[in-house]
Structure 1
Protein backbone atom coordinates (compact mmCIF):
# COMPACT_ATOMS: atom_id res chain seq x y z
CA UNK A 1 0.00 0.00 0.00
CA UNK A 2 1.19 3.50 -0.81
CA UNK A 3 0.21 6.55 1.23
CA UNK A 4 -0.41 10.21 0.56
CA UNK A 5 1.11 12.37 3.29
CA UNK A 6 -0.55 15.72 3.81
CA UNK A 7 -0.70 17.98 6.86
CA UNK A 8 1.51 15.40 8.64
CA UNK A 9 -1.17 12.74 8.07
CA UNK A 10 -0.69 9.50 6.15
CA UNK A 11 -3.74 8.49 4.10
CA UNK A 12 -3.82 5.15 2.23
CA UNK A 13 -3.85 5.81 -1.50
CA UNK A 14 -6.58 3.17 -1.99
CA UNK A 15 -9.62 2.88 0.25
CA UNK A 16 -13.03 1.27 0.10
CA UNK A 17 -16.11 3.30 -0.76
CA UNK A 18 -19.40 1.91 0.57
CA UNK A 19 -22.05 3.92 -1.30
CA UNK A 20 -25.15 1.79 -2.02
CA UNK A 21 -23.91 -1.10 0.13
CA UNK A 22 -26.41 -2.45 2.62
CA UNK A 23 -26.72 -5.05 5.37
CA UNK A 24 -24.62 -8.19 5.21
CA UNK A 25 -23.24 -7.18 1.81
CA UNK A 26 -21.72 -4.07 3.37
CA UNK A 27 -20.38 -5.91 6.44
CA UNK A 28 -18.82 -8.62 4.29
CA UNK A 29 -17.23 -6.17 1.87
CA UNK A 30 -15.64 -4.13 4.66
CA UNK A 31 -14.50 -7.30 6.47
CA UNK A 32 -12.96 -8.68 3.27
CA UNK A 33 -11.25 -5.38 2.49
CA UNK A 34 -9.70 -5.20 5.94
CA UNK A 35 -8.55 -8.81 5.63
CA UNK A 36 -6.86 -7.99 2.32
CA UNK A 37 -4.99 -5.02 3.76
CA UNK A 38 -7.28 -2.04 3.18
CA UNK A 39 -6.96 0.52 5.96
CA UNK A 40 -9.12 3.33 4.55
CA UNK A 41 -12.91 2.95 4.78
CA UNK A 42 -15.43 5.58 3.65
CA UNK A 43 -19.10 5.82 4.64
CA UNK A 44 -21.72 8.54 5.17
CA UNK A 45 -24.91 9.27 7.07
CA UNK A 46 -26.71 9.29 3.72
CA UNK A 47 -25.60 5.75 2.91
CA UNK A 48 -27.53 4.24 5.81
CA UNK A 49 -24.76 1.73 6.49
CA UNK A 50 -22.66 3.25 9.26
CA UNK A 51 -23.81 0.53 11.66
CA UNK A 52 -22.69 -2.24 9.30
CA UNK A 53 -19.35 -0.53 8.62
CA UNK A 54 -18.74 -0.18 12.34
CA UNK A 55 -19.64 -3.79 13.02
CA UNK A 56 -17.20 -5.02 10.38
CA UNK A 57 -14.37 -2.92 11.82
CA UNK A 58 -15.05 -4.04 15.40
CA UNK A 59 -15.27 -7.71 14.38
CA UNK A 60 -12.02 -7.64 12.41
CA UNK A 61 -8.54 -8.40 13.71
CA UNK A 62 -7.45 -4.90 12.72
CA UNK A 63 -7.10 -2.37 15.54
CA UNK A 64 -9.35 0.66 15.29
CA UNK A 65 -6.34 2.98 15.32
CA UNK A 66 -5.03 1.31 12.16
CA UNK A 67 -8.15 2.20 10.17
CA UNK A 68 -8.58 5.59 8.53
CA UNK A 69 -12.36 5.93 8.88
CA UNK A 70 -14.38 8.65 7.14
CA UNK A 71 -18.03 9.58 7.44
CA UNK A 72 -20.00 12.46 6.02
CA UNK A 73 -22.68 14.70 7.53
CA UNK A 74 -26.02 14.80 5.70
CA UNK A 75 -26.15 18.40 4.38
CA UNK A 76 -29.76 18.89 5.41
CA UNK A 77 -28.27 19.19 8.90
CA UNK A 78 -27.44 22.83 8.36
CA UNK A 79 -27.68 24.29 11.87
CA UNK A 80 -24.90 23.98 14.43
CA UNK A 81 -26.77 21.88 16.99
CA UNK A 82 -28.26 19.58 14.35
CA UNK A 83 -24.82 18.94 12.89
CA UNK A 84 -23.25 18.18 16.27
CA UNK A 85 -26.15 15.92 17.25
CA UNK A 86 -25.88 14.03 13.96
CA UNK A 87 -22.15 13.48 14.50
CA UNK A 88 -22.82 11.90 17.90
CA UNK A 89 -25.46 9.69 16.25
CA UNK A 90 -22.96 8.63 13.58
CA UNK A 91 -20.37 7.72 16.19
CA UNK A 92 -22.96 5.67 18.07
CA UNK A 93 -23.89 3.77 14.91
CA UNK A 94 -20.22 3.24 14.03
CA UNK A 95 -19.44 2.14 17.58
CA UNK A 96 -16.39 4.37 17.84
CA UNK A 97 -15.43 7.41 19.90
CA UNK A 98 -14.06 9.26 16.90
CA UNK A 99 -13.68 9.18 13.13
CA UNK A 100 -10.46 10.05 11.37
CA UNK A 101 -12.16 12.31 8.86
CA UNK A 102 -15.49 14.11 8.99
CA UNK A 103 -16.92 15.77 5.88
CA UNK A 104 -19.94 17.80 4.97
CA UNK A 105 -21.39 15.69 2.15
CA UNK A 106 -22.11 18.47 -0.31
CA UNK A 107 -22.72 22.23 -0.21
CA UNK A 108 -26.24 23.23 0.78
CA UNK A 109 -27.17 26.64 -0.66
CA UNK A 110 -29.63 27.11 2.20
CA UNK A 111 -26.92 26.60 4.81
CA UNK A 112 -24.38 29.04 6.18
CA UNK A 113 -20.91 27.84 5.24
CA UNK A 114 -19.59 29.61 8.32
CA UNK A 115 -21.99 27.78 10.64
CA UNK A 116 -21.38 24.40 9.02
CA UNK A 117 -17.61 24.74 9.20
CA UNK A 118 -17.78 26.03 12.78
CA UNK A 119 -19.65 22.87 13.74
CA UNK A 120 -17.12 20.61 12.00
CA UNK A 121 -14.23 22.55 13.55
CA UNK A 122 -15.76 22.24 17.01
CA UNK A 123 -16.28 18.50 16.45
CA UNK A 124 -12.54 18.27 15.87
CA UNK A 125 -11.69 20.30 18.96
CA UNK A 126 -13.97 18.00 21.02
CA UNK A 127 -12.14 14.92 19.77
CA UNK A 128 -15.06 13.59 17.72
CA UNK A 129 -12.88 13.59 14.61
CA UNK A 130 -9.18 13.91 13.88
CA UNK A 131 -9.68 15.87 10.67
CA UNK A 132 -12.40 17.73 8.79
CA UNK A 133 -13.12 18.28 5.13
CA UNK A 134 -15.74 18.77 2.46
CA UNK A 135 -17.25 16.79 -0.40
CA UNK A 136 -18.53 17.88 -3.81
CA UNK A 137 -17.19 21.43 -3.38
CA UNK A 138 -15.70 23.28 -6.35
CA UNK A 139 -12.54 25.34 -5.93
CA UNK A 140 -14.40 28.53 -5.04
CA UNK A 141 -16.59 26.74 -2.49
CA UNK A 142 -13.54 25.00 -1.02
CA UNK A 143 -11.75 28.32 -0.60
CA UNK A 144 -14.81 29.74 1.18
CA UNK A 145 -14.95 26.71 3.48
CA UNK A 146 -11.26 27.10 4.32
CA UNK A 147 -11.79 30.75 5.21
CA UNK A 148 -14.74 29.81 7.45
CA UNK A 149 -13.16 26.86 9.27
CA UNK A 150 -11.16 27.13 12.48
CA UNK A 151 -9.32 23.91 11.60
CA UNK A 152 -7.40 22.89 8.46
CA UNK A 153 -9.44 21.21 5.73
CA UNK A 154 -7.77 17.91 4.93
CA UNK A 155 -9.66 16.90 1.79
CA UNK A 156 -12.27 17.63 -0.82
CA UNK A 157 -13.96 14.39 -1.91
CA UNK A 158 -15.22 14.64 -5.49
CA UNK A 159 -15.92 12.57 -8.59
CA UNK A 160 -12.56 12.11 -10.32
CA UNK A 161 -11.81 9.83 -13.25
CA UNK A 162 -10.34 10.06 -16.78
CA UNK A 163 -13.47 11.80 -18.13
CA UNK A 164 -13.65 14.19 -15.17
CA UNK A 165 -10.06 15.07 -14.22
CA UNK A 166 -11.07 18.14 -12.19
CA UNK A 167 -8.00 20.09 -13.29
CA UNK A 168 -8.94 23.44 -11.75
CA UNK A 169 -9.87 21.88 -8.42
CA UNK A 170 -6.81 19.61 -8.39
CA UNK A 171 -4.52 22.58 -9.06
CA UNK A 172 -6.13 24.44 -6.18
CA UNK A 173 -5.83 21.47 -3.81
CA UNK A 174 -2.18 20.88 -4.71
CA UNK A 175 -1.39 24.55 -4.11
CA UNK A 176 -3.22 24.69 -0.78
CA UNK A 177 -2.19 21.47 1.01
CA UNK A 178 -5.53 19.73 0.52
CA UNK A 179 -5.78 16.13 -0.64
CA UNK A 180 -8.30 15.33 -3.36
CA UNK A 181 -10.24 12.15 -2.56
CA UNK A 182 -11.53 10.58 -5.76
CA UNK A 183 -14.85 8.77 -5.73
CA UNK A 184 -16.22 6.90 -8.76
CA UNK A 185 -12.66 6.54 -10.15
CA UNK A 186 -13.89 3.95 -12.67
CA UNK A 187 -16.65 6.26 -13.97
CA UNK A 188 -19.31 3.85 -12.67
CA UNK A 189 -17.93 1.09 -14.86
CA UNK A 190 -17.26 3.22 -17.95
CA UNK A 191 -13.53 2.69 -17.56
CA UNK A 192 -13.97 -1.06 -17.95
CA UNK A 193 -14.80 -0.68 -21.66
CA UNK A 194 -12.41 2.15 -22.52
CA UNK A 195 -10.14 1.40 -25.50
CA UNK A 196 -7.05 3.44 -24.46
CA UNK A 197 -7.22 1.90 -20.98
CA UNK A 198 -7.52 -1.58 -22.48
CA UNK A 199 -4.55 -0.97 -24.78
CA UNK A 200 -2.38 0.18 -21.89
CA UNK A 201 -3.66 -2.73 -19.81
CA UNK A 202 -2.34 -5.13 -22.42
CA UNK A 203 1.05 -3.39 -22.29
CA UNK A 204 1.34 -3.62 -18.51
CA UNK A 205 -0.52 -6.89 -17.95
CA UNK A 206 -3.32 -5.09 -16.13
CA UNK A 207 -7.07 -4.68 -16.55
CA UNK A 208 -8.55 -1.40 -17.83
CA UNK A 209 -9.84 -0.77 -14.29
CA UNK A 210 -6.36 -1.15 -12.84
CA UNK A 211 -4.94 1.28 -15.39
CA UNK A 212 -7.67 3.80 -14.52
CA UNK A 213 -6.93 3.46 -10.80
CA UNK A 214 -3.21 3.80 -11.44
CA UNK A 215 -3.94 7.00 -13.40
CA UNK A 216 -5.88 8.34 -10.43
CA UNK A 217 -3.35 7.59 -7.68
CA UNK A 218 -0.37 8.64 -9.78
CA UNK A 219 -1.57 12.23 -9.48
CA UNK A 220 0.15 14.15 -6.72
CA UNK A 221 -2.12 14.72 -3.73
CA UNK A 222 -4.86 12.28 -4.79
CA UNK A 223 -6.29 9.22 -3.00
CA UNK A 224 -9.25 7.14 -4.12
CA UNK A 225 -12.09 5.05 -2.69
CA UNK A 226 -13.40 2.66 -5.37
CA UNK A 227 -16.44 0.64 -4.42
CA UNK A 228 -16.44 -3.15 -4.71
CA UNK A 229 -18.12 -6.07 -2.96
CA UNK A 230 -16.19 -8.81 -4.79
CA UNK A 231 -13.07 -10.23 -3.16
CA UNK A 232 -11.47 -10.64 -6.58
CA UNK A 233 -12.10 -7.00 -7.50
CA UNK A 234 -10.97 -5.79 -4.08
CA UNK A 235 -7.70 -7.66 -4.59
CA UNK A 236 -7.40 -6.32 -8.12
CA UNK A 237 -7.88 -2.74 -6.98
CA UNK A 238 -4.94 -3.06 -4.58
CA UNK A 239 -2.66 -4.49 -7.25
CA UNK A 240 -1.75 -1.21 -8.95
CA UNK A 241 1.51 -0.23 -7.27
CA UNK A 242 3.90 -2.36 -9.33
CA UNK A 243 3.81 -0.29 -12.53
CA UNK A 244 3.94 3.38 -13.49
CA UNK A 245 2.36 5.23 -16.40
CA UNK A 246 4.47 7.61 -18.47
CA UNK A 247 3.61 11.30 -18.67
CA UNK A 248 2.39 10.76 -22.23
CA UNK A 249 0.17 7.86 -21.14
CA UNK A 250 -1.25 9.98 -18.33
CA UNK A 251 -2.23 12.61 -20.92
CA UNK A 252 -3.69 10.01 -23.31
CA UNK A 253 -5.91 8.64 -20.53
CA UNK A 254 -7.17 12.07 -19.47
CA UNK A 255 -10.05 12.99 -21.80
CA UNK A 256 -12.43 15.48 -20.17
CA UNK A 257 -15.96 14.77 -21.37
CA UNK A 258 -19.20 16.09 -19.95
CA UNK A 259 -21.09 13.51 -22.02
CA UNK A 260 -19.12 10.55 -20.68
CA UNK A 261 -19.23 11.95 -17.16
CA UNK A 262 -22.99 12.37 -17.44
CA UNK A 263 -23.40 8.83 -18.76
CA UNK A 264 -21.28 7.51 -15.91
CA UNK A 265 -23.51 9.26 -13.39
CA UNK A 266 -26.60 7.74 -15.04
CA UNK A 267 -25.01 4.31 -14.80
CA UNK A 268 -24.30 4.91 -11.14
CA UNK A 269 -27.79 6.16 -10.35
CA UNK A 270 -29.94 3.91 -12.50
CA UNK A 271 -27.71 1.06 -13.67
CA UNK A 272 -28.06 2.02 -17.34
Structure 2
Protein backbone atom coordinates (compact mmCIF):
# COMPACT_ATOMS: atom_id res chain seq x y z
CA UNK A 1 0.00 0.00 0.00
CA UNK A 2 1.54 3.31 -1.00
CA UNK A 3 2.01 6.24 1.34
CA UNK A 4 -0.65 8.45 -0.24
CA UNK A 5 -3.17 5.63 0.09
CA UNK A 6 -2.36 5.27 3.77
CA UNK A 7 -2.58 9.00 4.42
CA UNK A 8 -5.93 9.29 2.68
CA UNK A 9 -7.35 6.54 4.81
CA UNK A 10 -5.86 7.23 8.24
CA UNK A 11 -9.40 7.88 9.46
CA UNK A 12 -11.92 5.14 8.78
CA UNK A 13 -15.53 4.93 9.84
CA UNK A 14 -16.13 1.70 11.71
CA UNK A 15 -19.57 0.13 11.49
CA UNK A 16 -19.64 -2.23 14.49
CA UNK A 17 -22.19 -2.88 16.05
CA UNK A 18 -24.58 -1.02 13.77
CA UNK A 19 -27.24 -2.76 11.71
CA UNK A 20 -30.35 -1.83 9.74
CA UNK A 21 -31.32 1.80 9.19
CA UNK A 22 -29.06 2.91 12.03
CA UNK A 23 -26.05 1.60 10.11
CA UNK A 24 -27.20 3.16 6.84
CA UNK A 25 -27.87 6.56 8.38
CA UNK A 26 -24.53 6.62 10.20
CA UNK A 27 -22.62 5.69 7.04
CA UNK A 28 -24.41 8.39 5.06
CA UNK A 29 -23.56 10.93 7.76
CA UNK A 30 -19.93 9.78 7.75
CA UNK A 31 -19.68 10.17 3.99
CA UNK A 32 -21.19 13.65 4.30
CA UNK A 33 -18.60 14.52 6.95
CA UNK A 34 -15.79 13.52 4.61
CA UNK A 35 -15.04 9.91 5.43
CA UNK A 36 -14.00 7.81 2.46
CA UNK A 37 -12.68 4.77 4.33
CA UNK A 38 -15.28 2.38 5.77
CA UNK A 39 -14.71 -0.72 7.86
CA UNK A 40 -17.06 -3.69 8.15
CA UNK A 41 -16.85 -7.45 8.66
CA UNK A 42 -18.75 -10.66 8.06
CA UNK A 43 -19.02 -10.97 11.84
CA UNK A 44 -20.81 -7.61 12.12
CA UNK A 45 -23.80 -8.74 10.08
CA UNK A 46 -24.05 -5.36 8.33
CA UNK A 47 -22.24 -5.76 5.01
CA UNK A 48 -25.54 -5.53 3.11
CA UNK A 49 -26.50 -2.26 4.80
CA UNK A 50 -22.98 -0.94 4.26
CA UNK A 51 -23.21 -1.69 0.55
CA UNK A 52 -26.63 -0.08 0.26
CA UNK A 53 -25.53 3.04 2.13
CA UNK A 54 -22.33 3.49 0.14
CA UNK A 55 -24.26 3.14 -3.11
CA UNK A 56 -26.72 5.77 -1.85
CA UNK A 57 -23.87 8.24 -1.26
CA UNK A 58 -23.28 8.47 -5.00
CA UNK A 59 -19.52 8.41 -4.40
CA UNK A 60 -17.32 6.81 -7.04
CA UNK A 61 -16.00 3.39 -6.09
CA UNK A 62 -12.45 4.55 -6.76
CA UNK A 63 -12.83 7.26 -4.12
CA UNK A 64 -13.62 4.74 -1.39
CA UNK A 65 -11.42 2.52 0.73
CA UNK A 66 -13.55 -0.42 1.78
CA UNK A 67 -12.38 -2.98 4.35
CA UNK A 68 -14.09 -6.19 5.37
CA UNK A 69 -12.96 -9.18 7.42
CA UNK A 70 -13.39 -12.93 7.06
CA UNK A 71 -15.07 -14.68 9.99
CA UNK A 72 -12.97 -17.48 11.56
CA UNK A 73 -15.85 -19.87 10.91
CA UNK A 74 -15.09 -19.37 7.19
CA UNK A 75 -11.38 -20.18 7.37
CA UNK A 76 -11.92 -23.63 5.86
CA UNK A 77 -10.88 -24.14 2.25
CA UNK A 78 -14.45 -24.96 1.20
CA UNK A 79 -15.91 -21.81 2.79
CA UNK A 80 -13.30 -19.04 2.54
CA UNK A 81 -13.59 -17.80 -1.05
CA UNK A 82 -17.34 -18.40 -1.14
CA UNK A 83 -17.74 -16.24 1.96
CA UNK A 84 -15.68 -13.44 0.40
CA UNK A 85 -17.75 -13.58 -2.79
CA UNK A 86 -20.92 -13.29 -0.69
CA UNK A 87 -19.40 -10.29 1.11
CA UNK A 88 -18.76 -8.63 -2.24
CA UNK A 89 -22.34 -9.26 -3.35
CA UNK A 90 -23.66 -7.78 -0.13
CA UNK A 91 -21.31 -4.81 -0.43
CA UNK A 92 -22.34 -4.32 -4.10
CA UNK A 93 -18.75 -4.25 -5.32
CA UNK A 94 -16.40 -6.41 -7.38
CA UNK A 95 -13.58 -6.05 -4.87
CA UNK A 96 -12.68 -4.68 -1.47
CA UNK A 97 -9.65 -2.49 -0.96
CA UNK A 98 -8.50 -4.41 2.11
CA UNK A 99 -9.49 -7.94 3.15
CA UNK A 100 -8.56 -8.97 6.67
CA UNK A 101 -8.53 -12.20 8.62
CA UNK A 102 -10.68 -11.14 11.56
CA UNK A 103 -8.91 -13.31 14.15
CA UNK A 104 -6.15 -15.86 14.33
CA UNK A 105 -7.60 -19.37 13.95
CA UNK A 106 -8.38 -21.45 16.99
CA UNK A 107 -5.55 -23.95 17.34
CA UNK A 108 -2.83 -21.51 16.37
CA UNK A 109 -1.86 -22.62 12.84
CA UNK A 110 -2.11 -19.39 10.86
CA UNK A 111 -0.76 -20.79 7.58
CA UNK A 112 -3.95 -22.17 5.96
CA UNK A 113 -6.04 -19.03 6.46
CA UNK A 114 -3.20 -16.79 5.27
CA UNK A 115 -2.78 -18.87 2.13
CA UNK A 116 -6.51 -18.56 1.46
CA UNK A 117 -6.27 -14.82 2.03
CA UNK A 118 -3.48 -14.68 -0.55
CA UNK A 119 -5.66 -16.63 -2.98
CA UNK A 120 -8.46 -14.06 -2.58
CA UNK A 121 -6.00 -11.38 -3.64
CA UNK A 122 -4.70 -13.51 -6.51
CA UNK A 123 -8.30 -13.75 -7.75
CA UNK A 124 -8.69 -9.95 -7.56
CA UNK A 125 -11.36 -10.14 -4.88
CA UNK A 126 -9.29 -7.67 -2.89
CA UNK A 127 -6.55 -5.17 -3.70
CA UNK A 128 -4.76 -5.56 -0.38
CA UNK A 129 -4.61 -8.10 2.43
CA UNK A 130 -4.20 -7.74 6.17
CA UNK A 131 -4.84 -9.33 9.52
CA UNK A 132 -6.49 -8.45 12.78
CA UNK A 133 -5.67 -9.33 16.38
CA UNK A 134 -2.28 -10.82 15.51
CA UNK A 135 0.57 -10.94 18.02
CA UNK A 136 4.14 -9.93 17.20
CA UNK A 137 5.16 -13.52 16.55
CA UNK A 138 2.13 -14.06 14.32
CA UNK A 139 3.07 -10.97 12.31
CA UNK A 140 6.62 -12.27 11.90
CA UNK A 141 5.34 -15.63 10.73
CA UNK A 142 2.75 -14.07 8.42
CA UNK A 143 5.24 -12.08 6.34
CA UNK A 144 7.12 -15.31 5.67
CA UNK A 145 3.95 -17.18 4.64
CA UNK A 146 2.39 -14.79 2.09
CA UNK A 147 3.98 -13.11 -0.92
CA UNK A 148 1.83 -9.97 -0.91
CA UNK A 149 2.44 -7.16 1.59
CA UNK A 150 0.35 -7.27 4.75
CA UNK A 151 -0.96 -3.73 4.84
CA UNK A 152 -2.33 -3.66 8.38
CA UNK A 153 -2.89 -5.48 11.64
CA UNK A 154 -6.11 -4.12 13.16
CA UNK A 155 -5.98 -4.32 16.94
CA UNK A 156 -7.44 -2.84 20.09
CA UNK A 157 -5.54 0.42 20.51
CA UNK A 158 -6.39 3.30 22.81
CA UNK A 159 -4.71 5.37 25.57
CA UNK A 160 -5.83 3.07 28.39
CA UNK A 161 -3.98 0.00 27.05
CA UNK A 162 -0.24 -0.42 26.75
CA UNK A 163 0.52 -1.71 23.28
CA UNK A 164 4.18 -0.62 23.19
CA UNK A 165 5.48 -4.14 22.53
CA UNK A 166 3.00 -4.75 19.73
CA UNK A 167 3.66 -1.36 18.13
CA UNK A 168 7.43 -1.77 18.31
CA UNK A 169 7.16 -5.23 16.78
CA UNK A 170 4.84 -4.02 14.03
CA UNK A 171 7.22 -1.17 13.18
CA UNK A 172 10.19 -3.54 13.05
CA UNK A 173 8.33 -6.04 10.85
CA UNK A 174 6.84 -3.34 8.65
CA UNK A 175 3.14 -3.96 9.21
CA UNK A 176 1.19 -0.76 10.06
CA UNK A 177 -1.28 -1.02 12.92
CA UNK A 178 -4.84 0.25 12.79
CA UNK A 179 -7.06 0.71 15.82
CA UNK A 180 -10.42 -0.55 16.94
CA UNK A 181 -12.11 0.42 20.20
CA UNK A 182 -10.27 3.69 19.70
CA UNK A 183 -12.05 5.42 22.60
CA UNK A 184 -12.19 2.21 24.69
CA UNK A 185 -15.98 2.08 24.21
CA UNK A 186 -16.32 5.36 26.10
CA UNK A 187 -14.05 4.48 29.00
CA UNK A 188 -11.59 7.24 28.03
CA UNK A 189 -14.21 9.87 28.83
CA UNK A 190 -13.98 8.99 32.51
CA UNK A 191 -10.46 10.44 32.45
CA UNK A 192 -10.43 14.24 32.88
CA UNK A 193 -6.96 14.51 31.34
CA UNK A 194 -8.21 14.41 27.77
CA UNK A 195 -10.65 17.30 28.17
CA UNK A 196 -8.01 19.26 30.08
CA UNK A 197 -5.48 18.82 27.29
CA UNK A 198 -8.09 19.61 24.67
CA UNK A 199 -8.73 23.09 26.08
CA UNK A 200 -5.32 24.28 24.92
CA UNK A 201 -6.03 23.15 21.36
CA UNK A 202 -9.70 24.04 21.12
CA UNK A 203 -10.54 20.35 20.81
CA UNK A 204 -12.70 17.97 22.79
CA UNK A 205 -11.60 14.88 24.72
CA UNK A 206 -12.43 12.45 21.93
CA UNK A 207 -10.43 14.43 19.40
CA UNK A 208 -7.41 14.41 21.72
CA UNK A 209 -7.65 10.64 22.11
CA UNK A 210 -7.87 10.07 18.35
CA UNK A 211 -5.03 12.50 17.66
CA UNK A 212 -2.84 10.65 20.17
CA UNK A 213 -3.47 7.40 18.29
CA UNK A 214 -2.58 8.98 14.94
CA UNK A 215 0.61 10.46 16.35
CA UNK A 216 1.57 6.98 17.52
CA UNK A 217 1.60 6.06 13.83
CA UNK A 218 -1.62 4.06 14.06
CA UNK A 219 -4.61 4.66 11.77
CA UNK A 220 -8.00 4.85 13.41
CA UNK A 221 -11.47 3.35 13.12
CA UNK A 222 -14.20 5.24 14.92
CA UNK A 223 -17.95 4.78 15.10
CA UNK A 224 -20.78 7.05 16.15
CA UNK A 225 -24.43 7.39 15.24
CA UNK A 226 -24.57 11.12 16.01
CA UNK A 227 -23.69 13.38 13.06
CA UNK A 228 -21.99 15.95 15.30
CA UNK A 229 -19.74 13.29 16.82
CA UNK A 230 -19.04 11.77 13.42
CA UNK A 231 -17.86 15.18 12.19
CA UNK A 232 -15.88 15.77 15.35
CA UNK A 233 -14.07 12.43 15.05
CA UNK A 234 -13.08 13.30 11.49
CA UNK A 235 -11.87 16.80 12.36
CA UNK A 236 -8.53 15.90 13.92
CA UNK A 237 -5.98 16.81 11.28
CA UNK A 238 -5.59 20.50 12.10
CA UNK A 239 -3.66 20.25 15.36
CA UNK A 240 -0.68 18.37 16.77
CA UNK A 241 -0.26 17.28 20.37
CA UNK A 242 2.98 18.41 21.97
CA UNK A 243 5.52 15.85 23.12
CA UNK A 244 4.68 16.81 26.70
CA UNK A 245 0.98 16.13 26.20
CA UNK A 246 1.73 12.88 24.39
CA UNK A 247 3.80 11.78 27.37
CA UNK A 248 1.05 12.73 29.82
CA UNK A 249 -1.36 10.54 27.89
CA UNK A 250 1.19 7.73 27.63
CA UNK A 251 1.10 7.43 31.40
CA UNK A 252 -2.51 6.28 31.22
CA UNK A 253 -1.62 3.25 29.09
CA UNK A 254 -0.27 1.53 32.18
CA UNK A 255 -3.83 1.03 33.38
CA UNK A 256 -3.91 -1.84 30.84
CA UNK A 257 -7.65 -1.65 30.41
CA UNK A 258 -8.26 -4.32 27.75
CA UNK A 259 -11.76 -4.73 26.36
CA UNK A 260 -11.28 -7.77 24.15
CA UNK A 261 -10.17 -10.61 26.39
CA UNK A 262 -10.19 -14.37 25.87
CA UNK A 263 -13.21 -14.51 28.16
CA UNK A 264 -15.07 -12.33 25.68
CA UNK A 265 -13.80 -13.76 22.38
CA UNK A 266 -12.87 -17.43 21.97
CA UNK A 267 -10.50 -16.63 19.08
CA UNK A 268 -8.38 -14.21 21.13
CA UNK A 269 -4.70 -15.24 21.29
CA UNK A 270 -2.35 -14.87 24.24
CA UNK A 271 -1.81 -11.12 23.93
CA UNK A 272 1.63 -9.52 23.93
Residue 159 of structure 1 and its aligned partner are, at CA, apart by 0.5
Does 1:24 find its partner at 2:45? no
2:173 match: 176
Specify the SS of the correspondent of 1:150. Answer: coil
Does 1:104 find its partner at 2:101? yes
1:249 match: 245
The answer on whether the counterparts of 1:7 and 1:177 sit within 8 Å (CA) in structure 2 is: no
Specify the SS of the correspondent of 2:79. Answer: helix
Structure 1 unaligned regions, length at least 5: none
Does 1:145 find its partner at 2:150? no
2:65 match: 68
Measure the CA separation in 1 of the matches of 2:119 and 2:76: 13
The answer on whether the counterparts of 2:158 and 2:213 sit within 8 Å (CA) in structure 1 is: yes
**Structure 1 residues 111 and 88: alpha-carbon distance in aligned structure 2, compared to 1, 3 A threshold:** farther
Specify the SS of the correspondent of 2:258. Answer: helix
1:192 match: 189
Measure the CA separation in 1 of the matches of 2:53 and 2:229: 19
Specify the SS of the correspondent of 2:78. Answer: helix
Residue 81 of structure 1 and its aligned partner are, at CA, apart by 2.7
2:225 match: 229
Structure 2 unaligned regions, length at least 5: 266-272
The answer on whether the counterparts of 1:132 and 1:153 sit within 8 Å (CA) in structure 2 is: yes
* 1:43-54 equivalences in 2 (<5 Å): 43-54=40-51
Q: Structure 1 runs of 4+ off > 6 angstroms?
A: none
**Structure 1 residues 7 and 175: alpha-carbon distance in aligned structure 2, compared to 1, 3 A threshold:** farther
Give the alignment's Cα RMSD to 1 decimal: 2.1
2:270 match: none
Equivalences, count:
262
1:123 match: 120
**Structure 1 residues 260 and 54: alpha-carbon distance in aligned structure 2, compared to 1, 3 A threshold:** same
